[in-house]
Structure 1
Amino acid sequence: MFDLTGRVALVTGGNGGIGLGMARGLAAAGARIAVVGRNADKNAAAVAELGGDSFSVVADLTAIEAPARALGAVLERTDGKLDILVNNAGTNIRRLPQEVTDEDWATVLDTNLTSVMRLTRAAYPQLKASGHGRVICIGSMMSIFGLPLSPAYGASKGAIVQYVRSLAVAWGQDGITVNALLPGWIETELTAGAKRDIPTLNDSVLARTPQRRWGQPGDFAGIAAFLASDASAFVTGTAIPVDGGLSVHG
C-alpha cells in the first residue's frame, strides 16, 4: 500500500532542504520525481542524487503564468501524467510587523501562497484523471502560533492550512486527497539565516522541542511517502505537525 511505482510526483523546491527530503522518500517508494526549482545547478544535483528517470524544470513560480508553464513542461516529459503534487517552495523575510514593506509582503505571499494556488489549480485535471491524486502542501509551526519577526510568513502559512481544507472538501469526490505538513525548526538554508540573526535561537529551539534536537530534511521522507500513497487514501484535510513535539509542548 506504500508502493508508488509508476506514479509521477512534482515537487516544488525539491532541490534542497525539506523538499529534497520529501523527494527522496517519494523516489525510494518508486515514484518518478519532477524537481521544480529556480536554481539549475541545485536542480541537477538533486536529480543526480534521486536517480532513476527523475528530471528537473527551472522555474520561478512567482510570475503569474510561471506555475502553468512549469506544469506544462513537466507534463511534456510524462505524457500528461501527474499523480502527486508537493507544494514546498517557500521564502521568508524576517521583519517586525511595523517594518514590513508592501514589497516584503508581496514577495512572501506570492511565493508561499499565491503560486501554490496557481499551480494546484492548473494541476487539477491531471490529479483527477489519475484516480488517486495527492496534494501535499507545506505549512509551518507558524500556521499554529506566531513569532514576532515573521508576520508575512505566518499569514501565508496559516492561509495554506485553510486552503488545504477547502481543497479537501471540494475535491474529495474526485479521489484527490489534500493535506498539509507543518514543519517545526528544521535545519535548512532558510533557518540557517535565523540562526545567524538570533544568537539565542539554537538553545531556545532545543529547550522547547521535546526531542531536544533540530529536525532534518530526512524526517520528511516517510510522511511524504505515506501521504502520497494508498496507505493514506482516507486521510484528507489534515495539518500534521512534523516538529519533534514542539507544538504540543506547554
Structure 2
Amino acid sequence: MNILDTFSLKGKIALITGASYGIGFAIAKSYAEAGATICFNDIKQEFVDKGLAAYQEEGIRAYGYVCDVTREDQVNAMIAQIEKEVGVVDILVNNAGIIKRIPMVEMSAEDFRAVIDVDLNAPFIVSKAVIPGMIKKGHGKIINICSMMSELGRETVSAYAAAKGGLKMLTKNIASEYGEFNIQCNGIGPGYIETPQTAPLRVKGNPFNDFIISKTPAARWGKTEDLAGPAVFLASDASDFVNGHILYVDGGILAYIGKQPN
C-alpha cells in the first residue's frame, strides 16, 4: 500500500461529539476531506441545525443528532440510530466539552461536577457505547480531545484540569483494555487555539494574549486547521501501532520554560 493511502479515511464512519463549530467542526471537515462520512451531535436542535448548515456550506453531507452526551440513555439511542441510518462507527472523537473559570474556593461542588460530567464522564459514556461495534467490526479509533491542562494547572480551572487529567488516564486505560481488539485510543492536546470562545482573549493589548504568545515558541495562537493533520493521522491506518498516546498540538508550549527576563 502506498504510504499516502494509509492516511485515507475513505469508507470510514466518524462520530465527532459537539462538532457544530470550532475545533470539532475543523476536525470533522478534515475527516470529510480524507473520505469519511461525518456524524455529529449537539445538545440542542438549533445548534445541530446551524452545524448542518455549516457543513452544507462546505459541501459536506453530515448527519446531525440531538444528544446530551452526559446521558447514557440518550447516547445509546444516538449510537443505535447512527448504526441504523449510517453504519457502525469506525472513528469516535470525544470533542464536546465545557470550562468554568472560577477560583476553586469560590466554585460550587455543583459547578465542579458539571465540568467533570461533560469533560470526563461523557467520553467514558460515548466510548463505552461504540466499543462493542468496533470489536465486532475488528477495528476502531477513539480520539479524546485532551488539553495542556491534562499536564499543567492554572488559576481558576481546577475542575477543567481535573477532568482533562482524568481524560488522559481514561485514554491510556481504553488503549490498555481494548488494544487487543485492534482498537486504538489516543488523545490530542490542543494548545491555545483561535476559536469564537477565545476571541475576547486574543485582542491586542490584552495581557493574556501577550502572555500566551510569549509562552509559545511558535509566537502565535494555534488555528483550528493546525489540528487537522494530527487528527487525520490518529484516525487513519497510519497510526495502527500508536496507542495510549497524547499528541500535544501546542506550538511548543509544554517544551518551553519561557523567555529569560531582560
Superposed pair shares fold, TM > 0.5: yes
SS of 1:35 mapped into structure 2 = strand
The TM-score normalised by the length of structure 1 is: 0.94
Query: What's 2:3 paired with?
Result: none
Tell me the amino acid that sits aligned with residue 102 of structure 1: A
CA RMSD of aligned residues (A): 1.7
Query: What's 1:9 paired with?
Result: 14
Structure 1 gap ranges (5+): none
Greater relative contact order structure (CA < 8 Å, 6+ sep):
1
Q: CA deviation at 1:70?
A: 2.1
Structure 2 gap ranges (5+): 1-5, 258-262
Correspondent of 2:147 among 140, 150, 174: 140
- When residues 221 and 179 of structure 1 are mapped into structure 2, their CA distance, relative to the original with a 3 A threshold, is same
Correspondent of 1:82 among 89, 94, 105: 89
Tell me the amino acid that sits aligned with residue 36 of structure 1: N
Correspondent of 1:42 among 50, 53, 62: 50
CA distance in 1, matches of 2:186, 2:195: 22
Q: CA deviation at 1:163?
A: 0.3
Query: What's 1:24 paired with?
Result: 29
CA distance in 1, matches of 2:108, 2:201: 19
Correspondent of 1:62 among 59, 70, 77: 70
CA distance in 1, matches of 2:63, 2:256: 40
Deviations 1:85-133 (A, max 9, x none): 0000000000111111122112111111111101100111112223220
CA distance in 1, matches of 2:136, 2:224: 31
The TM-score normalised by the length of structure 2 is: 0.90
CA distance in 2, matches of 1:46, 1:55: 12
What is the number of equivalent residue pairs in this alignment? 248
Runs of 4+ in 1 over 3 A off after TM superposition: 49-53, 192-196
CA distance in 2, matches of 1:8, 1:49: 20
- Judge which range, 150-159 or 63-72, deviates more: 63-72
Alignment check: 8 A CA contact 2:20 2:48 kept: no
- Judge which range, 6-15 or 63-72, deviates more: 63-72
CA distance in 1, matches of 2:33, 2:187: 21
CA distance in 2, matches of 1:88, 1:128: 22
Matched, 1:116 2:123: yes
Percent identity between the two aligned chains:
38
Alignment check: 8 A CA contact 2:52 2:62 kept: no
CA distance in 2, matches of 1:153, 1:229: 29
